[in-house]
Amino acid sequence: MTDTTELEAFRGQIRTFLQNQLPPDVRDTVHRGQMVPRDRMLAWQEILAQAGYLVPHWPEQWGGRGWSVQQQMAFDEEMCTQGAPELSAINFDMIGPILMRYGSPAQQAQFLGAIASGRQSWCQGYSEPQAGSDLASLSTRAEHHGEHFVVNGSKIWTSGAQHADWIFCLVRTDREVRAQQGISFLLIDMASPGITVRPIVGIHGWAVFNEVFFDNVQVPLQNLVGEENQGWTIAKSLLEFERLKLARIGENKRRRARVLEVARSRREAGRPLTERPWFRQRFAELDARLLALEANAARFIRRAQSGKPAGAEVSMLKLRGSHLLQQWEQLTVDALGPQAMPFDAAAWSSQGAEAPTGLAAIAATASSRRFLSRGFTIAGGSSEIQHNILAKQVLGL
């Protein structure tokens, strides 16, 4: 889909669907910047699945619509600007495509339908306490014992592990070869004996990340994806598209709209913030950066549409997009001033007050969102790593 008129008609179709089908309570929760409760998120995913909008970028044989990269990026943007919660990239953009490309027929039959329905949740077992940006140094090991691997070790910063049904893990299966060559890719049932999940409550007050411990966990040999010791190749296979999505154009636009709402409601020296020079200057600078990010992303989308690899330079999208998200959140906090206090649900309840609405609702989670956004330049590959990739692979430094 390259015709502008066609793309706008496509966007209009998605917009109408969201306006009619997105539950108001979910929309309001997202607008306030709060976490959508798990049961409401699952209900929304069911609505999307029934309409064919949960995994539309998947091939039709696996329950998708075969959408192009351009359509998928447009869909994601409309989801954000219309107030829909962000979907799990781990489920729908990572493990699903990995199984399509590398999974056995039995693995595909077992998992892809459940993922596409939204009924099955996954988490990603990559980072470890001593293996973050240097992922190849991971030490969680898997050893052969009869018809099973026995897994021992731990993972950290595992998003959503406390709710996940399964985890896909990078594990070391050979310690005698070069680090990247001794890693395998395993699928592990989170209900397996020997798995312990310990939530990590961040400075923002939310339990987003977790530690996951493996103590003699038995994993059937048939849960190995691809060949043994080829896990590094599988792990790298989705990085280019992941970087493209991590520009998070829609999420940046959502935050832009929230900043404007605050600025139009707040007054300083008797004037709306939208008329104050300091705010206008900072907003204009971030707005220009967002326009540049969007234009740059469009260039990579066209490249992907033509079948060409995005190349290492796609890292610039993740680098710039994640920094911009942080800057929008900081501007929101600065615009709110003293009103930007962390939300204390217990305090609201104990005072007999109803949950805040309007500007007060945005202010109630502003500091939490600002702190949460600090992780955007670490997750998915830290900014330092993105700089290294661009310096070495693009600039030849």
Contact 168, 189 (CB under 8 A): no
Cα-atom radius of gyration of the chain, to the nearest Å? Answer: 22
First and final CA of the chain: distance in angstroms?
37
- Verify whether residue 242 is a known catalytic residue: yes
Residue 117, domain member (yes or no): no
Q: Do 223 and 250 fall within a single domain?
A: no
Q: Do 207 and 259 fall within a single domain?
A: no
Contact 30, 83 (CB under 8 A): yes
58: nearest Cα among 188, 297, 232, 241:
241
Q: Collect the ranges in the chain with pLDDT lower than 50.
A: 347-352
Task: Outline where DSSP puts E strands in the chain.
Answer: 122-125, 141-145, 148-155, 166-172, 183-189, 195-201, 207-220, 224-225, 267-268, 271-272
Check residue 3 and give its pLDDT: 73
Query: How far, in Å, are 28, 158, 296, 370 from residue 325 at the CA level?
Result: 20, 21, 16, 9
Check residue 278 and give its pLDDT: 96
- The two three-digit tokens of residue 329, written as one number: 């959140």
d(CA 142, CA 3): 50
- The two three-digit tokens of residue 352, written as one number: 């007999």
Check residue 219 and give its pLDDT: 97
* CATH number (domain holding residue 327): 1.20.140.10
Q: Do 267 and 290 fall within a single domain?
A: yes
Stated pTM of the model: 0.86
Residue matched to tokens 């600090």: 374
Structural domain ending residue among the three candidates 201, 231, 261? 231
* CATH number (domain holding residue 221): 2.40.110.10
- DSSP one-letter string for 165-205: SEEEEEEES-SSS-GGGGEEEEEEETTSTTEEEEEEE-TTS
Contact 95, 167 (CB under 8 A): no
Query: How far, in Å, are 245, 248, 374 from residue 318 at the CA level?
Result: 8, 8, 14
The total number of structural domains in the chain stands at 3
Catalytic residue among 86, 211, 228, 242: 242
Contact 368, 343 (CB under 8 A): yes
Q: Do 365 and 262 fall within a single domain?
A: yes
141: nearest Cα among 164, 120, 170, 166:
170
- The two three-digit tokens of residue 370, written as one number: 């600002």
Q: Do 253 and 366 fall within a single domain?
A: yes
> What is the domain range of residue 16?
4-87
Residue 104, domain member (yes or no): no
Structural domain ending residue among the three candidates 33, 60, 87? 87
Q: Do 225 and 244 fall within a single domain?
A: no
d(CA 220, CA 269): 67
13: nearest Cα among 26, 25, 1:
1
254: nearest Cα among 343, 368, 364, 369:
369
256: nearest Cα among 291, 225, 299, 228:
291
Structural domain ending residue among the three candidates 29, 64, 87? 87
* Burial state string for 225-257 with b = 16 or more CB within 10 A and e = fewer than 16: bbebbbbbebbebbbbbbbbbbbbbbbbbbbbe
Residue 297, domain member (yes or no): yes
Q: Do 221 and 249 fall within a single domain?
A: no
Q: Do 62 and 188 fall within a single domain?
A: no
